[in-house]
Structure 1
Amino acid sequence: MPPIAAPGDVVVDVQRAGVCGTDIELFSGEMQYLVDGVTTFPIRIGHEWMGTVVAVGDGVERRWIGRRVTGDTMLGCGVCHRCRRGQQWVCEFRGELGVRDGQPGALAEQVSVPVSSLRELPDTVDDVLGALVEPGGNALRAVQAAALQRGDRALVLGPGTIGLLVAMFARAAGAEVHLMGRSERSLSFARSLGFDGVWAEDELPEMAWDAVIDSSNAAQLPARALDLVEPGKRVVYVGLAGSPSLLDTRTLALKDVTAVGILSASPG
């Protein structure tokens, strides 16, 4: 059935939607939320999207109708202490559009979302880029967490969509950007974007890395990131492996490294 706009919600005609690694894990049954019980089948996926508002619920201004929008994936409860301090993306009771139970996603003709989650798209952002705002927000936050200075050398592990977006934001910040990956197809595509170095894991040169950003799904790479980064610098973890990743905190402490985890595009 077509969605109906509940009070505080809008209905959006979806025009573009992306397929994320999380969606693939939900499809294959490997997603950790399925193990934790916060997600159960059936579920409609899709959390990277854009579209046009076509209906509004009670309490929503009609000015939203006809607006091109995208929206936040993380839908906090709005009343807990984390939401009240503006961190709804880590709300214990949050919904996640197309990811957690009770929030059908945007891989459909229409999707219903809270108006509070909307972001209006300017005309300069086309439909495809509009659907890339959500993964772009994750990538932007990862680069901000790396605290790069102009001229720093950054290494991005995993040249998938998030990794390439991370690399582009890091390059825009003035860093010398290298990527490391496994698939020759992804490495070739990354080279076509003109980065300073694109390497297979066994070809990575010995360099001083001012920041290492792990955007991969490989369980062994978080520890490798810590080994590679310069003492006193930063590692950022935005990728998620399908099995536990182990870090030696002695290395973290003895190298005086700052490690940052990134969940969600919300603040970005």
Structure 2
Amino acid sequence: MRAFVLTAPGAYEVLEVAAPVAGPGEVVVDVERVGVCGTDMEFFTGAMAYLHQGHSAYPMRLGHEWAGRVAAVGDGVDPAWLGRRVMGDTMLGCGGCRRCLRGLRHVCEKRQEVGIRGGRPGALAEQLAVPASSLHALPDSVDATLGALVEPGGNALRAARATAVGPGDRALVLGPGTIGLLTAMFLRVTGAEVHLAGLTEASLSFARDLGFAHVWTEESVPGLPFDAVVDATNAAHLPRRAVELVEPAGRVVCIGLSGEPSRVDTRALVLKDVTVIGILSASPGLAAAVRAYAEGSVDPRPLVAATVGLTEVGAVLAGERPAGAGAGPKIQVDPR
């Protein structure tokens, strides 16, 4: 089969590689769609922390936001999975440690992450092998485009829920990228007043086109009481700014990662009685994200600017926009 292989920072090939075989407890999926994400770009540049911590190494096959159809099942797997449309959890815990046994596989110390960590090949290929236990079935109303948005959607849904806002509350999302916009969409469903802050007029204009009326630059954020602030950026100074902006007894949710440490004055946290929550993974939010897409309460299709083939992935990772791409922040890949 054909697969996109990252061989070194900035170096890649589309290669013919051995097709995967479903081992015990595994399935093989015909991949229909894959999302390209900021983590993939960090591997492309060589900046991703896992490379320097020994959790990942080149050559590697990226791709952890995916949807497809089960083509084969291994020993011990219910044959009813055959032919079903699915997406899968990125985080694959060992299954036997204290964290896994407590239902926290996404923070297992020994976990693999599909297309990211532990040598587990990703979905930027025609086929993918994953444990059947990681699968989530997709209803007919969740097409391939939406299916590949379930993983980022699960992250965003968890961030939105962590704010604990509802009708009468006001929330601010810093960063109108894919995760920030998805978080804003899930926040909007709660009935809260949702504000977004970003850098470029293009990104702010796109947010307005999605129906968000309260859109600001960092400098123009109004002096309103924000019951929750979500940092969905890679800017090291914004967690501190989030603490400054949030109301006393409010919540700050951090889902973005910067390339250097962020400095937050814990005295401000204590004196304002602020709760700070970090969100690592989509795992606990995947099923709810599928339901939200299926019901239509959240429709992230406009976020997808273009769908490309495997041969165009390298250019996308290098920051190029495909010809004819729309205004959205997400690029998806059809490996076939």
Where does residue 6 of structure 1 map in the other structure?
23
Does residue 24 (structure 1) correspond to residue 41 (structure 2)? The answer is yes
**Residue 205 of structure 1 aligns to which amino acid in structure 2?**
P
**Which among 72, 77, 91 is matched to residue 108 of structure 2?**
91
- Secondary structure at the aligned position of 2:283 is classed as coil
C-alpha distance in structure 1 between counterparts of 2:52 and 2:270, whole Å: 32
1:205 deviates by 1.2
Where does residue 251 of structure 2 map in the other structure?
234
User: Map of 1:41-190 to 2, 5 A cutoff?
Assistant: 41-190=58-207
1:244 deviates by 1.2
1:193 deviates by 0.8
1:196 deviates by 2.9
C-alpha distance in structure 1 between counterparts of 2:36 and 2:230, whole Å: 22
Return 5+ residue gaps in structure 1 as ranges.
none
C-alpha distance in structure 1 between counterparts of 2:213 and 2:248, whole Å: 22
Calculate percent identity across the aligned residue pairs.
66
Deviation digits for residues 51-103 of structure 1 (CA, Å, limit 9, x no counterpart): 00000111111111100000000000000000000000000000000001321
Q: TM-score scaled by structure 1?
A: 0.99
C-alpha distance in structure 1 between counterparts of 2:223 and 2:52, whole Å: 39
C-alpha distance in structure 2 between counterparts of 1:33 and 1:185, whole Å: 32
Where does residue 307 of structure 2 map in the other structure?
none
- Secondary structure at the aligned position of 1:112 is classed as strand
Contact 1:49 1:71 in 2 (8 A): yes
1:188 deviates by 1.3
Aligned residues: 268
Return 5+ residue gaps in structure 2 as ranges.
1-17, 286-336
**Residue 234 of structure 2 aligns to which amino acid in structure 1?**
N
Contact 1:176 1:196 in 2 (8 A): no
C-alpha distance in structure 2 between counterparts of 1:183 and 1:108, whole Å: 33
Where does residue 35 of structure 1 map in the other structure?
52
**Residue 273 of structure 2 aligns to which amino acid in structure 1?**
D
**Residue 61 of structure 2 aligns to which amino acid in structure 1?**
R
**Residue 44 of structure 2 aligns to which amino acid in structure 1?**
F
- Secondary structure at the aligned position of 1:150 is classed as coil
C-alpha distance in structure 2 between counterparts of 1:72 and 1:78, whole Å: 14
Contact 1:43 1:101 in 2 (8 A): no
RMSD across aligned positions (CA): 0.7
C-alpha distance in structure 2 between counterparts of 1:250 and 1:20, whole Å: 35
**Residue 144 of structure 1 aligns to which amino acid in structure 2?**
R
C-alpha distance in structure 1 between counterparts of 2:243 and 2:60, whole Å: 36
1:185 deviates by 1.7
1:240 deviates by 0.8
1:35 deviates by 1.6
Contact 2:57 2:119 in 1 (8 A): no
Does residue 264 (structure 1) correspond to residue 281 (structure 2)? The answer is yes
1:267 deviates by 0.4
**Residue 71 of structure 2 aligns to which amino acid in structure 1?**
V
